[in-house]
Amino acid sequence: EAPESLNFIEQIIEEDLANGLPQEQLRFRFPPEPNGYLHIGHAASICLNFGLGERYNAPVNLRFDDTNPAKEEQEYVDAIKNDIEWLGFQWATECYSSDYFQQLYDWAIELIKQGKAYVDGQSSEAIAEQKGTPTTPGTASPFRDTPVEENLAIFEKMKNGEYEAGTYVLRAKIDMASPNMLMRDPLLYRIINKAHHRTGNEWCIYPMYDWAHGESDYIEQISHSLCTLEFKSHRELYDWFLDQIYDKSKLRPKQREFARRNLSYTVMSKRKLLELVQTKTVSGWDDPRMPTISGLRRRGYTPASIRKFSEVSGISKRDGVTDVSLLEFCIREDLNKTATRVMGVIDPVKLVITNYPEGKEELLIAENNPEDADSGTHEVPFSRELYIEREDFKEDAGNKFFRLTIGNEVRLKNAYIIKGETVVKDADGNITEIHCTADLDSKSGSGTEASMRKVKGTLHWVSIKHAIKAEVREYDRLFLDEAPDSHEEKGFMEFVNPNSLNIVKEAYLEPYLMNAQLDDKYQFQRLGYFTLDKDSSPSHLIFNKTVGLKDTWAK
């Protein structure tokens, strides 16, 4: 067996261990902002952090980065926890940046006292203007040299809610000429007059990401704070903030960056996903077309398939786009091993077996899963009148058509070999019935010579008398463009596929599916993989198509 290769994050950790970091000090965190549902990009970060936890037997915290009450909600907190557990991971401690508001405030006061932070009463436009450009230094704010006592007094009033939002901010006093724009006196606090989902109205000043994140890592003693590449330039500030509070007897967290996961034919930022929800382009965060964990789950994806996808797409140092067909490959592989084989007809046409006795019915045996010897069998009722798929019959077909035609034989799955005889048409020439005869000695599994006969095609079918009517929802890509948010002239909403949902109102399924449960996975033979939708009820079954049997996108 080839030695397992380490990703570059694991290599960093191995180096740290080799340089003396005790393994029991390893600690990781997954830090979502509860401003939306988790998506398949977050799954990369979840699998990375929790995967490291498993590999090194180290705790992994779930930290809600809840520093902006204008965007965050309890609904998102609950959904995030549910999704992580569903993926099969368990966090060590559930933490919130908001738990540290008092500590962060106390540290901010220390910074002010040391002359390393000041309140600024200018407009955000003025502050932005003074920042300068990457090649020219910024200009000092007129507030930069306010005496400490005055800063402390104003900051306290900010905290006590005596100022309107936007009147004052607290800034770190670092370097207005730094080549790193983030070091040019970055904001630590701003006033937001919104109730917070956890702290209510206790606070009206809220820490900025950079101020909260590294200090939260320090409080939790996170050894490796892994984030995506857009934070690379923040690392200098992360370190500067740590320098101000760091006690050398404690572990000092380090930030390291990896590439975001992007997926073709979709968008991944929560802001954009929220827009799809708010404009009702989709039915909700868990719409089966969404790249969210909850959408994928509803679509029929399994935790194993998403974890596998993370494993095969890997952790990278450079941004790129992963082809969505890789994700589809992972779910197809998983379901092939686990899904129960059943029969359903989505576009039915009636088939009459003229030599099968009227009124007779029998139960045939269907294998549950040929890939799994322990999966057993179930019974499928058979009778004289069946539905088959309309596209499985052609009156005049060329010799490449291996399905049913007049005068040709095919096998009905788990049943008999039949031969097309005649058709019945309505006044418009549409076929309403196909009449055929069966070789009644050819029953599958009967052991007769006729049952061993090889014919070119095998069709799925349902017995009309026994079939259950169900709704089937088939999905196409939500966007027509490979990278819908990469265009300068057009917004991503302009690439929404208007035909991404196809609802089949009357599909007919074998009665075995009457007892389908929410998490059950099925292969409708020859059609694809399906799962029950949460909108389903016993009197109105609804199935989602997860994915087809083959990659229909391959060129």
Using CB under 6 A as the criterion, which residues of the chain lie in contact with ligand ATP when the complex forms? 31-33, 41-42, 44-45, 65, 227-228, 260-261, 268-270
Residue 227 binding target from Mg ion, ligand ATP, none, CB below 5 to 8 Å by type: ligand ATP
Q: Which residue is nearest to ligand ATP (CB)?
A: 41
Give the shortest CB-207-to-ligand ATP separation in angstroms: 15
Query: What separation in angstroms does the CA of 485 have from each of 292, 480, 500, 524, 548?
Result: 17, 11, 18, 35, 26
Long-range contacts of 139-142 (CB under 8 A, 24+ apart): 139/176, 140/176, 141/171, 141/185
The whole-angstrom distance between residue 184's C-alpha and the CA centroid of its chain comes to 37
**Is 465 in the active site?**
no
CB 492 within 8 A of CB 413: no
Nearer to ligand ATP, 173 or 234 (CB): 234
Nearer to Mg ion, 33 or 409 (CB): 33
CB 75 within 8 A of CB 194: no
Number of residues that bind Mg ion (CB under 5 A): 1
List residues bridging with 28 in a β-sheet.
60
Contact map string, positions 27 to 56, toward Mg ion, x by CB under 5 A? ------x-----------------------
Give the shortest CB-518-to-ligand ATP separation in angstroms: 27
Residue 300 binding target from Mg ion, ligand ATP, none, CB below 5 to 8 Å by type: none
**Is 235 in the active site?**
no
Contacts of residue 86, defined as CB under 8 A and 6 or more positions apart, other chains included, come to: 293, 297, 303
Which residue in 507, 501, 515 sits closest to 472, CA to CA?
A: 507
Which residue in this structure is represented by tokens 């198509």?
Answer: 545
Residue 251 binding target from Mg ion, ligand ATP, none, CB below 5 to 8 Å by type: none
Give the shortest CB-259-to-ligand ATP separation in angstroms: 7
Give the shortest CB-33-to-Mg ion separation in angstroms: 5
Whole-number Å distance between alpha carbons of 318 and 255 = 17
Residue 261 binding target from ligand ATP, Mg ion, none, CB below 5 to 8 Å by type: ligand ATP
* Amino acid identity, position 111: L
Residue 451 binding target from ligand ATP, Mg ion, none, CB below 5 to 8 Å by type: none
Whole-number Å distance between alpha carbons of 54 and 91 = 11
Nearer to Mg ion, 253 or 288 (CB): 253
- Set 198, 260, 298, 521: catalytic member: 260
Give the shortest CB-330-to-ligand ATP separation in angstroms: 17
Structure tokens at 382: 């058979």
Give the shortest CB-229-to-ligand ATP separation in angstroms: 9
Query: What separation in angstroms does the CA of 341 have from each of 19, 253, 346?
Result: 54, 51, 16
Whole-number Å distance between alpha carbons of 106 and 103 = 5
Nearer to ligand ATP, 159 or 297 (CB): 297
Nearer to ligand ATP, 33 or 481 (CB): 33
- Set 27, 29, 171, 270: catalytic member: 270
**Is 260 in the active site?**
yes
Whole-number Å distance between alpha carbons of 285 and 290 = 7
- For Mg ion, the binding residues (CB under 5 A) are 33
Active site residues: 33, 260, 270
